[in-house]
């Protein structure tokens, strides 16, 4: 059995499991311990039913502690239906131990093992989305840097962890991070940090990096991540509080549109896990058998709610369609018509997966926020003016319908060729009192397959798929100092220098700079110092590196400033002072391999460039090692970065 995933803005993986894991690990804090209540089904929602729905959902949406990853079919019944004809036995992945089978149907949680893994990734150069992240992410990074600066043992354990991560990069993108999050879901809380199930019962992507667990355990102990977690956990709870209401509103409104009440004890779980140490631009949605889990990085209580709703629609709709797998086999001829569409292979080969996604996209088009302000007829208007207001209301509705139709047609040209059919069916559904569960059979069995084949055949498909369908993340557009770094690496010294000077924040009193402003200034000075080296101005370079050391808290900037100063001192034939700089670089180094190797190389051998030698100078003057009046104009060149960064680009030094 193979798991599937689409990554970029949304990562959705499926790993089928036979049964939910009975063992539960509770590391979070329930704001509300009352489980999600049920609502009696009926032909329509009355005001009382709506109030009950809101009350029951709010009672059940509770910050606890969980996470997960997913399957080729969402229910055990459908899995049996699909595999009943096979005589081969497969080992099914178990649900993560963090999913509590006895917990609420819907919960909002945080998880310490996920925090530990995300913090470790940050310590090893994971900077994606750092500027947009919640302040707690920078705070945790600073706490780790302080612990690393105090302990050589901690730095050595960090280096081993980062070396493993660097050696197991696949695409240099979101998928690299996803495999570690997948593994974190199967870890027990510290201090044990062990896999909770056998390797054969874990999803394939997590087992590819399972050897990182002992290295992670050593790193967590060395920097006391447990203590940092206890300090920042209240911040996580606050983020959960802020996210609780909008998430509740989304779930209630979706249930009301589908006319399907939230069920209390159906053996299925929908869990939203908050982890601010990850990029806010990426949502990691995972499905394990009947349990659906979404990992999000909130900022001030806001997330990409449309992506969470997309996963929730999978949670609500997939069981309804997988129960009708045999009926959907009639749609096989449609697969021939979408071979050229920019779809993932699973959509071009699996009629059920294609149908599920088409129905979800049709629903999303019907309930999407069109961005057009809602039009309301004013109260207490004169009856003679009602026709004018009615015309205005109709004009508003036409604009809304045009936006929704455009979204639907876009999905069609992407290859989701049943979206138009379901879009029309959902318009009929909105006018009827029955729930989607009750009308699903009629939708599926009344589909005119020949008409859908003809419609698909007439489509001119897009050449490229949407970002959230691709399995690779789109490279981030560089701006500000990131762009200056790239320009400098490309040799455009003038442009890089201009951008760095523009980014400098100036104040009459340097102590009045905020921590963020000081960090920007330190990085800008670092870029200007390297530019000065390339243009043959060593005095300016030394001044820039010293300003970086005085203002920066970034271990990488600190270490490389010491390395560059050491190289310049080597060229100035001041070996003892150069050694001191290299030693400082080893003490303050980050977790990247190139930093440690460059500093160690400087300790072993003096930096030299072609045509310059301190030994030759000593022989000429008869002294053991005189220094020239001015630093030589030879430029110490930076080493090539050892590894690509998670956003798909190389971070220049």
Domain extent, residue 187, equals: 10-314
Q: What is the pLDDT of residue 276?
A: 95
The answer, yes or no, to whether residue 139 has pLDDT greater than 90, is yes
pLDDT of residue 10 exceeding 60, the answer is no
3-state class of 341 per DSSP? coil
Per-residue pLDDT at 13 exceeds 80:
no
Which CATH number is 604's domain given?
A: 1.25.40.10
Strand order in the sheet with 269-274: 10-15, 283-288, 291-296, 269-274, 106-109
* Structural domain count, the chain: 3
Fill in the DSSP letter of residue 461.
-
More confident residue, 184 or 60: 184
- Flag whether 498 is in a domain: yes
Statement to judge: residues 188 and 84 lie in one domain: yes
pLDDT at 599 over 90: no
| pLDDT tens digit sequence for 489-519 | 888 889 889 988 888 876 545 667 777 788 8
Do 73 and 216 lie in a common domain?
yes
The verdict on 427 and 486 lying in the same domain is no
Q: Where are the alpha helices (DSSP H) in 446-554?
A: 449-457, 480-489, 493-503, 515-534, 538-551
266 assigned to some structural domain: yes
SS3 content of the chain, % helix, strand, coil (to 5): 55, 5, 40
Mean pLDDT of 70-84: 35
User: Is 411 within the bounds of a domain?
Assistant: yes
Q: Judge whether 465 lies within some domain.
A: no
Reply yes or no on whether the pLDDT at 119 is more than 80. Answer: yes
Cα dist from 615 to 575, 612, 625, whole Å: 12, 9, 7
Is residue 177's pLDDT more than 60? Answer: yes
Q: What's the confidence (pLDDT) of residue 490? A: 85
Q: Which of 263, 291, 314 is the last residue in one of the domains?
A: 314
Q: Can you give the pLDDT at residue 380?
A: 80
Could you identify the residue written with the tokens 């990850």?
278
Query: H or E element: which one contains 174?
Result: helix 174-184
With respect to residue 644, please indicate whether it lies within any of the assigned structural domains.
no
Residue 68 has pLDDT above 80, yes or no: no
Q: Is the pLDDT of residue 262 over 60?
A: yes
pLDDT for residue 489: 86
Predicted pLDDT of residue 3: 37
What is residue 377's predicted lDDT score, i.e. its pLDDT? 81
Residue 89's pLDDT band (cuts 50, 70, 90): very low
Angstrom distance (rounded) from CA 97 to CA 457: 46
Contact (Cβ atoms closer than 8 angstroms) between residue 480 and residue 503: yes
| pLDDT grade for 466, boundaries at 50, 70 and 90 | confident
Q: Which residue has the higher pLDDT, 330 or 614?
A: 330
Q: Per-residue pLDDT tens for 413-447?
A: 999 999 999 999 999 999 999 999 999 999 999 99
Q: Percentage of the chain surpassing pLDDT 90? A: 37
Instruction: Give the mean pLDDT of the chain.
Output: 77
Which pLDDT does position 507 carry in this prediction? 52
Does 306 share its domain with 443? no
Distances from the Cα of 120 to the Cα of 94, 146, 164, 221, 222, angstroms: 25, 14, 12, 12, 12
- Rounded distance, CA 67 to CA 63, Å? 12
Q: What is the pLDDT of residue 65?
A: 31
Of 103-107, 277-281, 522-526, 589-593, the poorest mean pLDDT is in: 589-593
Considering the domain architecture, whether residues 137 and 166 belong to the same structural domain is answered as yes
Does 446 share its domain with 523? no
Do residue 330 and residue 290 come from a single domain? no
Q: Is residue 646 part of a domain?
A: no
Asked whether the predicted pLDDT for residue 4 surpasses 60, the reply is no
| Rounded Cα–Cα distance for residues 460 and 170 (Å) | 34
Q: Is residue 553 part of a domain?
A: yes
pLDDT in tens, 643-652: 333 333 334 3
Has residue 614 got a pLDDT over 50?
yes
Same domain, 114 and 225: yes
Phi, psi for residue 41 in degrees, rounded to 5: -75, 155
3 alpha-carbon distance from chain centroid: 19
Confidence of residue 44 (pLDDT cuts 50, 70, 90): very low
642 domain residue, yes or no:
no
SS3 call for 447: coil
Lowest mean pLDDT among 413-427, 476-490, 533-547, 566-580: 476-490
Q: 284 and 355, same structural domain?
A: no
What are phi and psi for residue 554, nearest 5 degrees? Answer: -80, 120
- Do 304 and 200 sit in the same domain of this protein? yes
Instruction: State the Cα–Cα distance between residues 432 and 359, nearest whole angstrom.
Output: 18
Q: In the predicted model, is pLDDT for residue 60 greater than 50? A: no
Of the candidate ranges 72-76, 159-163, 625-629, the one whose mean pLDDT is the lowest = 72-76
Residue ending a domain, among 314, 340, 360, is: 314
Residues 332 and 194 in one domain: no
End position of a domain, from candidates 290, 314, 338: 314
Q: State whether 425 and 515 are in the same domain.
A: no
């Amino acid at each position: 059995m193979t798991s599937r995933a689409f990554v970029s803005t949304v990562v959705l993986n499926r790993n089928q499991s036979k049964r939910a894991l009975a063992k539960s690990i509770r590391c979070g804090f329930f704001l509300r311990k009352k489980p999600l209540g049920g609502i009696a089904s009926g032909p329509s929602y009355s005001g009382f039913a709506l109030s009950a729905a809101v009350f029951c959902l709010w009672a059940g949406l509770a910050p606890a502690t969980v996470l997960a990853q997913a399957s080729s079919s969402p229910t055990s019944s459908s899995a049996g239906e699909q595999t009943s004809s096979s005589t081969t036995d497969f080992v099914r992945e178990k649900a993560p131990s963090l999913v509590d089978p006895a917990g609420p149907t819907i919960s909002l949680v945080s998880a310490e093992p996920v925090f530990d893994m995300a913090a470790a990734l940050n310590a090893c150069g994971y900077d994606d989305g750092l500027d947009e992240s919640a302040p707690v992410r920078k705070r945790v990074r600073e706490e780790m840097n302080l612990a690393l600066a105090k302990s050589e043992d901690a730095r050595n354990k960090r280096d081993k962890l980062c070396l493993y991560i660097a050696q197991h990069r696949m695409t240099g993108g979101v998928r690299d991070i996803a495999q570690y999050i997948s593994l974190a879901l199967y870890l027990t809380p510290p201090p044990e940090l062990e896999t909770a199930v056998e390797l054969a019962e874990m999803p394939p992507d997590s087992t590819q990096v399972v050897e990182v667990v002992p290295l992670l355990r050593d790193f967590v102990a060395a920097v006391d991540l447990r203590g940092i977690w206890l300090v920042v956990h209240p911040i996580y709870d606050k983020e959960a509080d802020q996210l609780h209401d909008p998430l509740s509103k989304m779930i209630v409104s979706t249930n009301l549109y589908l006319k399907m009440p939230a069920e209390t004890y159906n053996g299925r779980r929908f869990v939203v896990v908050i982890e601010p140490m990850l990029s806010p631009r990426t949502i990691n949605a995972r499905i394990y058998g009947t349990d659906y889990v979404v990992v999000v990085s909130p900022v001030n209580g806001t997330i990409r709610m449309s992506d969470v709703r997309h996963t929730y629609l999978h949670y609500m709709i997939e069981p309804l369609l997988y129960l009708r797998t045999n009926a959907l086999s009639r749609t096989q001829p449609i697969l021939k018509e979408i071979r050229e569409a920019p779809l993932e292979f699973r959509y071009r080969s699996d009629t059920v997966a294609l149908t599920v996604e088409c129905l979800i996209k049709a629903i999303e088009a019907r309930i999407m926020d069109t961005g057009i302000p809602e039009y309301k007829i004013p109260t207490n208007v004169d009856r003679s003016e009602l026709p004018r207001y009615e015309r205005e209301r109709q004009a508003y509705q036409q604009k809304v319908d045009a936006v929704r139709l455009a979204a639907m047609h876009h999905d069609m040209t992407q290859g989701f060729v049943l979206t138009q059919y379901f879009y029309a069916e959902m318009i009929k559904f909105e006018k009827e009192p029955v729930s989607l569960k009750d009308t699903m059979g009629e939708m599926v069995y009344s589909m005119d397959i020949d008409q859908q084949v003809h419609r698909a055949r007439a489509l001119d498909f897009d050449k490229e798929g949407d970002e959230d369908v691709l399995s690779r993340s789109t490279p981030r557009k560089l701006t500000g100092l990131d762009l200056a770094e790239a320009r400098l690496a490309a040799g455009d010294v003038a442009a890089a220098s201009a951008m760095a000077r523009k980014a400098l924040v100036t104040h009459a009193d340097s102590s009045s700079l905020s921590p963020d402003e000081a960090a920007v200034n330190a990085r800008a000075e670092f870029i200007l110092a390297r530019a000065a080296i390339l243009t043959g101005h060593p005095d300016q370079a030394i001044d820039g590196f010293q300003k970086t050391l005085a203002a920066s808290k970034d271990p990488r900037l600190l270490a490389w400033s010491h390395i560059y100063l050491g190289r310049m001192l080597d060229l100035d034939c001041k070996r003892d002072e150069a050694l001191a700089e290299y030693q400082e670089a080893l003490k303050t180094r980050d977790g990247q391999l190139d930093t440690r190797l460059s500093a160690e190389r400087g300790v072993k051998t003096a930096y030299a460039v072609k045509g310059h030698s301190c030994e030759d100078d000593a022989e000429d003057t008869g002294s053991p090692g005189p220094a020239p009046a001015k630093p030589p104009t030879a430029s110490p060149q930076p080493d090539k970065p050892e590894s690509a960064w998670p956003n798909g680009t190389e971070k220049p030094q």
